[in-house]
Amino acid sequence: MVKPPLTLAVDLGGTRMRAGLVRDGGELVVRRAEATPRGAACPDALMALVGDILADERVDRAVIGVPGRVDHRAGRLEYAPNLPPHWPESLDEESLSGRLGLPISLANDADLAAVGEAYFGAARGHTDVVYLTISTGIGAGVVLDRRLVTGTRSWAEVGHTVLEHAAGLRGEPASFEDLGSGTALAQRAARAGLPPDGARIVALVHDGDPEAIRVWDDLVSVICTGVINLAHLFTPSAIVLGGGVGRNGDLLIAPVREALELRGPRGLPTPIEVLVAELGDDAALVGAAGWLRAREAPCHG
């Protein structure tokens, strides 16, 4: 009996690279992860990661997630500040397809994760979904009417939107990412004399440490503002919070829901549901299984 073809899924990050094989239903059947070798050439690092996977299985296509802006028409990565600086020029669909011997799709990693959570994860019962990842940086992907929101380029670079106008004019931290990311949490903690580690801060909050609670609440206030902006932009039925910070649902869900009730879209027949991502670090890998469907789904708007 011939095995059904699988999709090769790759998630290239500045710190870690992940690869796996996924079935059309979102089942991740093979998974590998390695540190990103910042001194290596990109094609060589990619082949080292996926070579043995391709040798053992029938694969008919590949989807490669990257932490930056993708030009879908040209099939190339345009800008990715967190990857090794010599990598973006090698990340184009044509050359990678020749190297791997497969049809290749490049995708923004947050877009891929949004498809994963919308099709197979926490928001699989919803048609209109915003996925927000809050980790070292902040990113987002949007699925409306089961279709990924994108144009010539990948969209929803919400981390770079400005939340503090006056601070921005002074050249100070002003963006959503500057103020609401895991990096921002570490910086706030260090200024307060606390360990600059997100997991340690969360543990201290659970222990009732008043200074940690103050630092955390400041961060949550920023996150709430960013979520409110996304809610007004896209009016989804669900917002999924992911990333190392975003997955702390016991500390985030209630304040985010309250903020949406106070300042979110008015007059909706049902409140926007706030969910914690289910797929964890594998959201982008799993999303590869739904990538073509999410790009090609008919629009009904």
Give per-residue pLDDT as tens, 244-281.
999 999 999 999 999 999 999 999 999 999 999 999 98
Give yes or no for residue 299 having a pLDDT over 70. no
The one-letter code for the residue type at 88 is P
Task: Write out pLDDT tens, residues 90-127.
Answer: 899 999 998 888 999 999 999 999 999 999 999 999 99
Contact 63, 107 (CB under 8 A): yes
Q: What is the pLDDT of residue 57?
A: 72
Q: Pairing state of beta strands 138-144 and 147-148?
A: antiparallel
Q: How many helices (H) and strands (E) does the chain have?
A: 12, 12
Write the pLDDT tens digit of every residue in 145-181: 999 998 888 876 889 999 999 999 999 999 999 999 9
Average pLDDT of the residues in 188-201: 94
CA separation for the pair 176, 159 (Å, rounded):
5
Of the pLDDT bands very low, low, confident and very high (cuts 50, 70, 90), residue 2 is low
Q: pLDDT digits over 54-79, tens only?
A: 876 788 899 999 988 999 999 999 98
d(CA 124, CA 235) in angstroms, rounded, equals 17
Q: Identify the weakest region by mean pLDDT among 40-44, 215-219, 223-227, 255-259.
A: 40-44
For the four alpha carbons of 103, 106, 107 and 109, in that order, the dihedral sign comes to positive
The terminus-to-terminus CA distance of the chain in angstroms comes to: 42
Q: For residue 148, what is the enclosing H or E element?
A: strand 147-148
Provide the 8-state DSSP code for 102.
S
Q: Return the pLDDT at 85.
A: 87
Q: Between the CA of residue 279 and those of 95, 124, 180, 228, what are the distances in Å?
A: 30, 12, 22, 24
pLDDT band of residue 301 (cuts 50, 70, 90) is very low
The secondary structure of residue 129, as a DSSP letter, is E
CA–CA dist 79, 73 (Å, integer): 15
Q: Is the pLDDT of residue 300 over 50?
A: no
Q: Which pLDDT belongs to residue 297?
A: 63
DSSP 5: P
